[in-house]
């Protein structure tokens, strides 16, 4: 079942974030799946802002969410900034519609006013739990007479609106999980409008999905209990519900809920850590979905062409930061030099940007590009070009090894005799002559020199590093190393 057809017409999907914080990687994957499905089917991708949580929703968070989605390369056909024939696309601008829909449900007997206080509800909940019953609403206001309702309103008692849950089952074909049946006894009569007049999540979401002609709802499996409520709301309006696809959760490597303690868990953190948007999308789309040819590195066109819901698995996906970094490294190495310099320059240490001109900074970045997975590694990799880089413990050991001092002294003499300007070839020749003079080669030759000049034992081509650093810096580093060894 690929979920590409629906009897209401062309595919229309939505991503509906709440602007209450950052865009989590799980939300980002949901957005990507919906976007790919819309693009694969030639359908419509709708962005809806669910901002009825007035205490937590902010316009700043909305701006951040939209920026993150654009950074990922996702565009929407309808939304708060794009317009469309089914707007407005912020729930805070649709409140009159929810009020009218709630009144209609009450008038037709599908909902009713409830005057139970929060204290009463909490007490009843505790009593139910103590007696081993589900902590559901007990229906105390379900059969109030018109006179009782009027009396409580005259008394100024705060009221909510509850949906009257019928007995029976709700069955549907989930495009990922297959046939699902849920007994309505799983939920009590649930609130659809709060005492402050604002709609609850399920009521607003179901109303908007119907109004916006959404044909498919792709979302995380944690929403399954919401699906029961939303299908009931659809039934009450006589409308056909959309097709549902509940995708697996994204877990940390220890199988716990993904959080900051497992590394970057938001798109903003990934951006700041130096991940490329193409790599992030490529990695996230493979968390729960697989390409028919088992390919791992995919272009946008390949993702769009191959995406189908029937290739989404049921098992939870595990977020592996090392795999993401590896994927990012593939994308980094494919960047044209101009683009690489543009994205990497902000990550250069201030000392490098102050000491070297733009051309030399470009040479440095070109030299380290192949060794970068996350762009924030630029700072440490470029640190070897500082005049006095940090000496790593293993580098200090290499400089203290037997014969290391002889190597450093020999290479210092050879380099000092080189004509200016140095070139990678002339520096490489000087190192070779020092090796022959001391009878050293391989690690015994290169490790002491690299340690003295760069502070560590690994990195880009040593002769090119030394050429960029130049005569004064390199000879100064060797002199300091020899003094410390004497």
Among residues 257, 260, 322, 441, the one annotated as catalytic is 260
In this structure, what are the phi and psi dihedrals at residue 147, rounded to the nearest 5 degrees? -65, -40
Q: Hey, which residues does 142 pair with through a beta bridge?
A: none
Residue with tokens 């469309």: 84
Token pair belonging to 265: 């868990």
Token pair belonging to 469: 């650093």
According to DSSP, residue 183 is labeled E
On whether the CB atoms of residues 263 and 238 are closer than 8 A, the answer is no
On whether the CB atoms of residues 164 and 112 are closer than 8 A, the answer is yes
According to DSSP, residue 259 is labeled -
Residue 237's nearest CA partner among 98, 357, 388, 416 is 98
156 dihedral zone (left: phi>0; alpha: psi -120 to 50; beta): left
Cis omega before residue 88 (within 30°)?
yes
Residue 144's nearest CA partner among 101, 111, 177 is 111
Cβ burial, residue 433 (10 Å; 0-12/13-18/19+)? middle
Helices 462-485 and 443-454, interaxial angle, to 10°? 80
What is the rounded distance in angstroms from the CA atom of residue 324 to the CA atom of residue 320?
Answer: 6
On whether the CB atoms of residues 175 and 1 are closer than 8 A, the answer is yes
Active site residue 131: no
Give the total residue count for the chain. 486
Q: What is the DSSP string of 365-392?
A: HHHHGGG-SSGGGHHHHHGGGSSS----
Alpha carbons within 13 angstroms on the beta-carbon side of residue 269 total: 15
SS3 220: strand
What is the rounded distance in angstroms from the CA atom of residue 429 to the CA atom of residue 154?
Answer: 97
List the catalytic residues: 260
């Amino acid at each position: 079942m690929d979920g590409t057809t629906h009897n209401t017409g062309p595919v229309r999907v939505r991503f509906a974030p709440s602007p209450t914080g950052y865009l989590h990687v799980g939300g980002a994957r949901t957005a990507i799946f919906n976007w790919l499905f819309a693009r694969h089917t030639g359908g419509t991708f709708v962005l809806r802002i669910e901002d009825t949580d007035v205490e937590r929703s902010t316009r700043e968070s909305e701006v951040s969410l939209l920026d993150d989605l654009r950074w990922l390369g996702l565009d929407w056909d309808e939304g708060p900034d794009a317009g469309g024939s089914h707007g407005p696309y912020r729930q805070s601008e649709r409140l009159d519609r929810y009020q009218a829909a709630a009144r209609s449900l009450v008038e037709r007997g599908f909902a009713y006013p409830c005057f139970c206080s929060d204290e009463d509800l909490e007490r009843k909940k505790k009593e139910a739990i103590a007696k081993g019953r589900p902590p559901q609403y007990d229906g105390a206001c379900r059969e109030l007479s018109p006179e009782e309702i009027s009396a409580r309103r005259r008394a100024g008692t705060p009221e909510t609106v509850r949906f009257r849950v019928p007995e029976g089952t709700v069955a549907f074909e989930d495009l990922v999980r297959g046939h699902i049946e849920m007994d309505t006894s799983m939920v009590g009569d649930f609130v659809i409008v709060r005492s402050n007049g604002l709609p609850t999540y399920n009521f607003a979401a179901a109303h908007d999905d119907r109004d916006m002609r959404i044909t498919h709802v792709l979302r995380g499996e944690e929403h399954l209990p919401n699906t029961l409520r939303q299908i009931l709301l659809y039934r009450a309006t006589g409308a056909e519900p959309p097709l549902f696809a509940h995708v697996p959760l994204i877990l940390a490597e220890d199988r716990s809920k993904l959080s900051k303690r497992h590394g970057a868990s938001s798109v903003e953190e990934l951006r700041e850590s130096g991940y490329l948007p193409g790599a992030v999308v490529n990695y996230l789309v493979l968390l729960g979905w697989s390409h028919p040819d088992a390919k791992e590195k995919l272009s946008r066109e390949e993702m769009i062409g191959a995406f189908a819901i029937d290739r989404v698995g049921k098992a939870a996906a595990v977020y592996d930061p090392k795999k993401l970094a590896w994927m990012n490294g593939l994308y980094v190495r494919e960047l044209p030099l101009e683009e690489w310099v543009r994205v990497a320059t902000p990550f250069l240490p201030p000392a490098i940007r102050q000491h070297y001109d733009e051309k030399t900074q470009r040479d440095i970045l070109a030299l380290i590009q192949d060794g970068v997975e996350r762009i924030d590694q630029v700072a440490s990799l470029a640190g070897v070009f500082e005049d006095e880089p940090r000496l790593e413990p293993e580098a200090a050991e290499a400089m203290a090894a037997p014969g290391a001092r002889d190597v450093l002294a020999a290479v210092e003499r050879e380099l000092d005799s080189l004509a200016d300007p140095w070139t990678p070839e002339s520096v490489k020749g000087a190192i070779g002559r020092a090796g022959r003079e001391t009878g050293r080669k391989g690690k015994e030759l290169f490790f002491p020199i690299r340690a003295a000049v760069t502070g560590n034992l690994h990195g880009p081509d040593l002769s090119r590093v030394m050429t960029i650093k130049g005569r004064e810096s390199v000879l100064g580093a060797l002199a300091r190393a020899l003094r410390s060894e004497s």
